[in-house]
Amino acid sequence: MIPSTTLKLMTRPLYVASRSFVSGEPARPTIKTEIPGPQSAILLKDLDSIQAMKSVQFFVDYDKSLGNYIVDADGNTMLDVFTSISSIPLGYNHPNMLKAFDSDHAKKVLINRPALGVYPGNDWVDQLRNVLLSCAPPGLDQVITMMCGSCSNENAFKLMYFKYMDKVRGGIPPNDEAMKSCLDNLSPGTPRLSVLSFHGGFHGRTPGALACTHSKSIHKIDVPLYDWPVADFPRYKYPLEENTQENTAEDKRCLDKVEEILERQTKNSNPCVGIIVEPIQAEGGDHHGSANFFQGLQDICKKHDIVYLVDEVQTGGGPTGKMWAHEYFNLRDAPDIVTFSKKMLTGGLYHKPDLRPNNAYQIFNTWVGDPSKLILLDSVLKTIRQDKLLETTLKAGDVLLSGLRRLENQFPSLLHSARGIGTFCAVDADTSARRDQILAKLRTEGVHCGGCGETAIRIRPALIFETKHANIFIESLEKVLKTF
């Protein structure tokens, strides 16, 4: 008879997990119920009685979730390649982040949340310098914290207006008439100015940011917004290396359009003070622009002396394998403003010194950010450096993208246009309905993924996502595609 210990060894799964960055992480997903399961269904019904949040997908057990694996209220353990819309930098319950509030000082920062614009703590300047400026985009040395991505963009727009009006007045402060009329939203204190954005872009939900958002009608319907101009963002043919001529022509078409719009806006007395653009249009469908396109936009901004704002809310913080996606574009100069949130854990903006507001309280609100978030971000940045997570992201991204390319060749009627930088990857399904079916079936395989745009499958894992996780994702996707 075989001794029971040997039997146990023999029946152990062949797949033995290598060490993960978060120890104790499950080796694979395990699914016990449909998702949402019965427990989530009860909670959904309960929530619905007090809040109309029809978007909730399932409830999560954040005590049990670990590393790359999210555990739902019904005990289903899923590989999470969506991470709360790309906002969980180191996966769930990373020990370094859990430790971040161990000290009394950190706890006191957490509970004594100040109005940072008037009463910052005595370590605030060091925190801004040592944490936020330690990972600033090259060439930018001014930083302001904010609460979220939308309000970061909203305040970036204000910096643009201030700079523009300062130039219009030749550096002279606004006169009494302007100071009075602005209280009634009237000219000359309230000028007519605009920000140029792109079809398919997403920049947030507050009115200015929403005026620049053009991904889905449901975000905008029934909301009064500025009549700001919208330009075309390139739409490339894939694979890129087989379509260079067409894609270069597409860049030129889009850049010419931008110039045309800027001139029209000036003629119509609604001048553009700046351009807002995502390095990769994420919500709108993971549309990439070339380095040539982004360099061209910067040239246009310089020619018209307007502000170049790169919105790195979704791309920033490492998922492309660099801290900032625009670092891939070899811009001749830093963008004038870079906004961030999500994986950076605090919202905010980096900007050039010439955009500093002239007066106190022009950029201001009660909290202007949250110092406890910088304590967490500090532990995230140290972990990224110590564990070389940007390299990990590039390696995992290679496996993802080559896997997606193999699958689009194997299933050409189902998938096309695989693309990505680092783990910031996507592939399109043939129809919206198919994309949704693929996402639903992936979930029954234990992979929590998301969509964006009309037909894209969007991959947004944490920075601790490794090649072994990428292999599980690709294997699961292949299994799902075989069912069609």
Q: How far is the CB of 136 from ligand PSZ (least distance, A)?
A: 18
Q: Which of 94, 163, 203, 304 binds ligand PSZ (CB under 6 A)?
A: 203
How far is the C-alpha of 463 from the C-alpha of 321, rounded, in Å? 9
**Using alpha carbons only, what angle is made at residue 213 by residues 208 and 219, rounded to the nearest 5 degrees?**
100
Q: How far is the CB of 127 from ligand PSZ (least distance, A)?
A: 21
**Residue 104 falls in the annotated catalytic set:** no
Q: Which of 28, 205, 405, 441 binds ligand PSZ (CB under 6 A)?
A: 205
How far is the C-alpha of 474 from the C-alpha of 484, rounded, in Å? 16
By CB under 6 A, residue 131 contacts ligand PSZ: no
Q: How far is the CB of 405 from ligand PSZ (least distance, A)?
A: 25
Nearest alpha-carbon partner for 365 in 111, 118, 108: 118
**Residue 373 falls in the annotated catalytic set:** no
Q: How many chain residues are in contact with ligand PSZ, going by CB under 6 A?
A: 16
How far is the C-alpha of 172 from the C-alpha of 174, rounded, in Å? 7
Q: Which of 74, 154, 278, 370 binds ligand PSZ (CB under 6 A)?
A: 278
Longest Cα separation, the chain = 98
**Catalytic entry in 74, 80, 311, 378:** 311
Q: Which of 145, 341, 417, 423 binds ligand PSZ (CB under 6 A)?
A: 341
How far is the C-alpha of 377 from the C-alpha of 362, rounded, in Å? 27
By CB under 6 A, residue 476 contacts ligand PSZ: no
By CB under 6 A, residue 150 contacts ligand PSZ: yes
Q: Do residues 298 and 308 lie in contact, with contact meaning Cβ atoms separated by under 8 Å? A: yes
DSSP codes of every residue in 103-159: SHHHHHHHHS---TTTS--TTHHHHIIIIIGGGPPTT--EEEEESSHHHHHHHHHHH
**Closer to ligand PSZ at the Cβ: 282 or 470?**
282
Residue 227 has φ and ψ, to the nearest 5°, of -90, 60
Asked whether the CA dihedral 176, 178, 181, 184 is positive or negative, the reply is negative
DSSP codes of every residue in 28-44: S-B--S-SS-HHHHHHH
**Catalytic entry in 6, 30, 244, 366:** 366
Residue 116 has φ and ψ, to the nearest 5°, of -60, -25
Give, as ranges, the residues between 81 and 100 that touch ligand PSZ (CB under 6 A). Answer: 85
By CB under 6 A, residue 149 contacts ligand PSZ: yes
Q: How far is the CB of 346 from ligand PSZ (least distance, A)?
A: 10
Q: Which of 83, 314, 392, 423 binds ligand PSZ (CB under 6 A)?
A: 314
By CB under 6 A, residue 313 contacts ligand PSZ: yes
Q: How far is the CB of 105 from ligand PSZ (least distance, A)?
A: 28
**Closer to ligand PSZ at the Cβ: 341 or 476?**
341
**Using alpha carbons only, what angle is made at residue 134 by residues 374 and 328, rounded to the nearest 5 degrees?**
115
- In the DSSP assignment, the letter for residue 349 is E
> Token pair for residue 361?
């309280």
How far is the C-alpha of 439 from the C-alpha of 446, rounded, in Å? 11
CB under 6 A: which stretch of 92-100, 263-271, 277-285, 354-362 binds ligand PSZ? Answer: 277-285
Q: Which residues contact 461 (CB under 8 A, 6 or more apart)?
A: 68, 80, 81, 82, 83, 319, 396, 423, 469
Q: Which of 157, 198, 202, 294 binds ligand PSZ (CB under 6 A)?
A: 202
By CB under 6 A, residue 251 contacts ligand PSZ: no
Q: Which of 25, 80, 251, 311 binds ligand PSZ (CB under 6 A)?
A: 311
**Closer to ligand PSZ at the Cβ: 94 or 342?**
342
How far is the C-alpha of 287 from the C-alpha of 272, rounded, in Å? 24
Q: How far is the CB of 189 from ligand PSZ (least distance, A)?
A: 28
**Burial profile 266-289: b = 16 or more Cβ within 10 angstroms, e = fewer:** eeeebbbbbbbbbbbbbbbbbbbb
CB under 6 A: which stretch of 128-136, 203-211, 301-309, 460-468 binds ligand PSZ? Answer: 203-211
By CB under 6 A, residue 197 contacts ligand PSZ: no
**Catalytic entry in 163, 342, 343, 352:** 342
Q: Do residues 332 and 297 lie in contact, with contact meaning Cβ atoms separated by under 8 Å? A: no
By CB under 6 A, residue 459 contacts ligand PSZ: no
**Catalytic entry in 59, 157, 198, 202:** 202
User: For ligand PSZ, which residue has the nearest CB?
Assistant: 149
Length reported for the chain: 484
**Closer to ligand PSZ at the Cβ: 132 or 313?**
313
Q: How far is the CB of 433 from ligand PSZ (least distance, A)?
A: 21
Q: Which of 144, 148, 310, 472 binds ligand PSZ (CB under 6 A)?
A: 148
By CB under 6 A, residue 283 contacts ligand PSZ: yes
Catalytic positions are 202, 311, 342, 366
Residues near ligand PSZ (CB under 6 A): 85, 148-150, 153, 202-205, 278, 282-283, 311, 313-314, 341
